[in-house]
Amino acid sequence: MFGYDDFLKFIQAFFVVYPVVTLIHLLGHIFFAGIFGGRGIRVIIGTGKILFSMRFLEVRRFYFWYGGCEFSALKYSNKLTKSLIFLGGSIFNIGSIFIVNYLIQLGILDASMLWYQFVYFSFYYVFFALLPMDMADGTLSDGKAMYKLWFNKNKDDSSADCQLIDEEKK
């Protein structure tokens, strides 16, 4: 039966944990884009009207749904560097899972529903990011974008949440 406590867990999961997992995923993409000389780096959390923007971070009204990142002009641009950018989000999510589990083992963090939700949504994010599929809007998952990159079929070197922006079109 779905009770009051479950409702609070739901609120925590979808309005706190999931946006944090999304941010970690996007920071993974941006980390690798930055290493390989990407400029114009921007992280967008959510969808809808802009709530606030600072430096490279933009938070939108529905901060708990969706996210994306943008960058332009990679200094080092080849299949390997672009693959690491596509994999970066999942690498960061998997790394965060190991860190949380390690901190729980050390007794620094308590094993709680919060961390269970964090690990659950991190696995969820990794699974659907790496699953090679087309999204409903025609964009590609990170896995499909990387697959098409290696077979010279990813025309714009972008995935659903990681966009390489052409500076001339800005």
pLDDT in tens, the chain (170 residues): 678 888 999 999 999 999 999 999 999 999 999 999 999 999 999 999 999 999 999 999 999 998 999 998 899 999 999 999 999 999 999 999 999 999 999 999 999 999 999 999 999 999 999 999 999 888 999 999 999 999 988 778 899 999 988 754 44
Domain that holds residue 47: 4-169
Domains held by the chain: number: 1
Q: At what angle do helices 142-150 and 79-105 cross, to 10 degrees?
A: 150
pTM higher than 0.85: yes
pLDDT in the model for residue 1: 67
Q: Which residues contact 44 (CB under 8 A, 6 or more apart)?
A: 58, 60, 67, 68, 69, 70
